[in-house]
Amino acid sequence: MEVTYTINDSWVSIYLKGELDHHGARTAIERVGQIIDLNYGKNIAMDLSHLDFMDSSGIAVVLNAKKNVGKDSFVVRNVPTQAMKIFRTARIDKMIDFED
């Protein structure tokens, strides 16, 4: 699991790359949290286009990120079909803004 980010004006894009399961979840949550803290006050877009696999661990990663962002905008972008099926099953799509 690789976590990188880019900054574009008031938006920070966080990219998760590889396979996201329980093994990498804690590191991913911590790394994403650090990036959000470092960029306090900016809007956060989590980009999942480079994710090869995700299980229910991804739910905790996204919900923790939303909690860390607080009142700034938070969106999850480019979610692969398999990961979206998990978010829908868990009804996370009602709590998070997803966009293509």
The residue ranges that bind other proteins (CB under 8 A) are 19, 21-23, 25-26, 29, 53, 55-57, 59-61, 63-64, 81-82, 85-86, 89-90
The most distant pair of C-alpha atoms in the chain lies apart, rounded to whole Å, by 34
Report in angstroms how near the CB of residue 36 gets to other proteins at its nearest.
15
Q: Can you tell me the distance from the alpha carbon of 68 to that of 79, in angstroms, rounded to the nearest whole number?
A: 20
Report in angstroms how near the CB of residue 99 gets to other proteins at its nearest.
22
Q: Which is nearer to other proteins, 1 or 75 (CB)?
A: 1
Say how many C-beta atoms besides its own lie within 10 A of residue 17's C-beta.
15
Q: Can you tell me the distance from the alpha carbon of 53 to that of 71, in angstroms, rounded to the nearest whole number?
A: 29
Q: Which is nearer to other proteins, 11 or 55 (CB)?
A: 55
